[in-house]
Amino acid sequence: MRPSLGFDPRTTAASRPSLLFSLGAWGLDALFGLGALARTLWVAVASLTAPGRAARAVAFRVMLAQLYFTGYEAILVVSAVALFLGATIIVQIQLLAPAIGGELLGQILVTVVLREVAPLGTAFLVAGRSGTAIATELGGMKADQEVLALASIGIDPPRYLVLPRITAVIVATLALMAYFIVVGIAGGYSVGWLVAAPSFDALRAGVARSLVWSDVPLYLVKGIGLGLIIGWFCCHFGLSVQTSPTEVPPKASRGVMLTLLFCVIYNAIVTTLFYAIVGSPVPV
C-alpha cells in the first residue's frame, strides 16, 4: 500500500537522539564555548606584546573613549543607585530592629555596602549599560564586515577592539566601585542620622571600626575580577556574531546574562574566601 505521508513517523521518532547523545553534544558545545572564551582573552592579552608604538597609541585612544563612556558617563546613574541603596539598607535595618545601636548600624553599613552591594551593584550597572553596548557594537561591526575590514588594513582586532575595552571596563569598574562605596555610605549615613540622630557618633564609630586594611585587597580583587568578567565576556559574545545582524540581539543578551551570572558567582567565591581568611564580618 502506498503511504499517505512522505515519511514514516515511527522512524522519525526512533531516530531522535538519546539522552546520552544529547548530554554529550551539550558537553562538547560547552567545552568548545569555554575554549573560544579563553582564546578571546588569551589573544587580547598576547597582543600586549605586539610591536608598534603608533598602534599602541591608537589602541590607547580607543581605551580612553571607552573609559569616558563606561566611567564618566555612568556617574549620574551610579550616584542615584548608590545613594538610594545605602539609604534603603539603613531604613530596612531600622524597621526590622529599631533597637539596634548606631555603632552596629555603621558596621552593617560597611559590611553590606562596601563589601557586597557596591561591587555587585557597580558590576550590574556597568554590565547593563556598557556590557550591552560593547556586545552590540562589536556584534554589529562583525556582521557589517567592519572587523574584517580592520584586519584587511593590518589592524589587529584583539589589540584595537578587545584589549582597550577590557582595560577600560576594569579601570571604570574600580573607579565606580570606589565612588559607589562613598555615595552609598554617605546615603546610609544621612538617613542613619535622620532615623538614629542620637547615636550619630556611634554610627560614625561603627563605620570607622568596621573598615579594615584587608578591605583594600578585597576591593581590588573584586573590582578587577568583575571588570574583567564584564569586558571579556561582552567582547567575546559580540565578536561571536558571524554574518547576520539578526544574531546580534540574542548573542548580546546571552553575553550580558552570562556576565551577570558569573559576576554573582565570582563575588560569592571571593566573599567566602575573604571571610575564611579574615574571620567574622563584624569585629567584636
Partner 1 sequence: MDEGLSVRDLTFRYGDVHIADDESFDVPRGGTLVVTGGNGVGKSTLLYLCAGLVAPHSGVVTLNGHVPVVDRPSHLVRKGVRIGFLFQQGGLVSNLNVLANVKLGLRYHADLFNLTDKAIDERAKEALDRVRIADSELYAMPAHLSFGTRKRAALARAIALQPNFVFLDDPDAGLDTMTAKIVGDILFGLRDDPEVTSVVCTNHRALIEAIGCSTKELCAGSLLAQTYRRVE
Q: Does 124 bind partner 1 (CB under 8 A)?
A: no
Residue 203 CB coordination number (10 Å): 24
CB neighbourhood size of 108 (10 A): 21
Residue 133 interacts with partner 1 (CB under 8 A)? no
Nearer to partner 1, 75 or 151 (CB): 151
Burial class (CB in 10 A: 0-12, 13-18, 19+), 284: exposed
Using the contact rule CB under 8 A, the part of the chain among 8-16, 27-35, 78-86, 148-156 near partner 1 is 148-156
Q: How many residues bind partner 1 (CB under 8 A)?
A: 29
Among 25, 30, 50, 208, binds partner 1 (CB under 8 A): 50
36 binds partner 1 (CB under 8 A): no
Counting contacts by CB under 8 A, is residue 55 touching partner 1? yes
List 1, 54, 95, 276, residue binding partner 1 (CB under 8 A): 54
Say how many C-beta atoms besides its own lie within 10 A of residue 280's C-beta. Answer: 8
Counting contacts by CB under 8 A, is residue 145 touching partner 1? yes
30 binds partner 1 (CB under 8 A): no
Confirm if 94 and 198 have CB atoms less than 8 A apart.
no
**C-alpha–C-alpha distance, residues 97 and 93, integer Å:** 6
Please name the helix (run of DSSP H) or strand (run of DSSP E) that holds residue 89, with its range, or none.
helix 75-96
**C-alpha cell read off for 24:** 554529550
Establish how many alpha carbons lie within 13 A of residue 138's alpha carbon, considering only the half-sphere containing its beta carbon.
29
Told to check if 24 binds partner 1 by CB under 8 A, we report no
Interface residue with partner 1 among 91, 104, 133, 150 (CB under 8 A) is: 150
Task: Judge contact between 122 and 176, C-beta under 8 A.
Answer: yes
**CB closer to partner 1, 1 vs 54:** 54
Convert residues 158-197 into a mask of x (bound to partner 1 by CB under 8 A) and - (unbound).
Answer: xxx-------------------------------------
Instruction: Please measure the distance between the N-terminal and C-terminal CA atoms of the chain and give it in whole angstroms.
Output: 87
Q: Which of 37, 43, 228, 270 binds partner 1 (CB under 8 A)?
A: 43
Cell of 211: 573598615
Residues in the site for partner 1, rule: CB under 8 A? 43, 47, 50-55, 57-58, 137, 140-141, 144-146, 148-160
